[in-house]
Amino acid sequence: MLELQNIRKQFNGKTVADGISLQVARGSLLAILGRSGCGKSTLLNIAAGLTAPDGGHVLLDGTDITALPPEKRRISLMFQDYALLPHLTVLQNTAFGLKMRGTAKRQAEEAAEAMLEQVGLSGEGYRRPDTLSGGEQQRVALARALAAEPKLLLLDEPFSSLDTGLRSSLRNLTRAQAGRLNIPAVLVTHDPEEAFLMADRIALMADGRIIQEGSPDELGAHPNSAAAAKLLGCRNVGDTFYLPPDALFPDPAGPACPVLALHRLPGGTRAEIGHPQFGRIEMPLPPGFHGSEIRVGTDTARLVRFQTPPDKPA
């Protein structure tokens, strides 16, 4: 288990971690979701030992590793940059971490070959990085990270430069391999979709603080503030409420709302409407709708009222 206990950090007077405490169980993946500059990558670097906290503790399997250097932590870190060594083959890159730990060459290469098979690159160990596609390079980076038998896997937006299809397959592969090894994993991302697809739990981060934490289902159904809802990519967020677009429907008895804009999407058409109670919001339109006005009903059971002040930490 990874435990961050009351982590605090400032850079040039700016607080990037303000008393953060998080836990990640073995075999579980936590996504830290936040915008650029919120402090999420700093938190990952503190867990990795690349940045020292101003206060607090990092524990791994019950051992305080706060003062340990990175090379003593048995942690693997994956970045957006694959960081493959161009003069080494795929097999040599994959075995690199094990060899640096003093593992015998034959044993390291056997472990590397086994991991390359797990990521779908069996028989490709002879190739050089410059002959690989982006997806293949990231799979080598994943194999290298996991071949070293880490106690913790840290992921700093490693899939953001890949195209949609590759991104999806590598997310699934990474999640499956971390679960197979039964190690905790932490992903930092600005992409709500990535967090929802990969994580068992999500921590929403803003201005150096965790403003909400929970399962994807919990957060999706009940964001606790406008700031949380916006980080999750929710539509129809006001200062005091969140109304899912599919909680709105055509209703002859409902208020008449002007249609302000139309958005034609693969799954159907959405309209921006002017609602007398909720202001400018979005709703799905029925097939074949034409007109400049629509009467709208609301499933009020789906309406989320925020308990915290708008855009303030919970």
In the chain, the domains with their CATH numbers are 2-221 (3.40.50.300), 242-305 (2.40.50)
Q: How far apart are CA 91 and CA 151, in angstroms?
A: 22
Helix 90-100 with 105-118: angle, nearest 10 deg: 130
Q: Tokens at residue 136, please?
A: 């293949």
Order across the sheet with 63-64: list the strands: 14-24, 2-11, 55-60, 63-64
More confidently predicted of 159 and 28: 28
Q: How far apart are CA 208 and CA 136, in angstroms?
A: 35
CB neighbour list of residue 246: distance below 8 Å, 6 or more residues apart: 283, 284
Q: How far apart are CA 65 and CA 56, in angstroms?
A: 11
Residue (of 56, 59, 57) closest to 8 by Cα position: 56
What pLDDT shows up at residue 44?
95
Look at residue 69 and give its three-state secondary structure. coil
The kind and range of the H/E element at 15 are: strand 14-24
Q: Does the pLDDT of residue 46 top 90, yes or no?
A: yes
Q: Give per-residue pLDDT as tens, 128-156.
A: 999 998 888 888 988 998 888 899 999 99
% the chain with pLDDT above 70: 98
* Averaged confidence pLDDT in the chain: 91
Looking at residue 205, its amino acid is M
Q: Does the pLDDT of residue 309 top 60, yes or no?
A: no
pTM: 0.88
What pLDDT shows up at residue 308?
55
Q: How far apart are CA 82 and CA 156, in angstroms?
A: 11
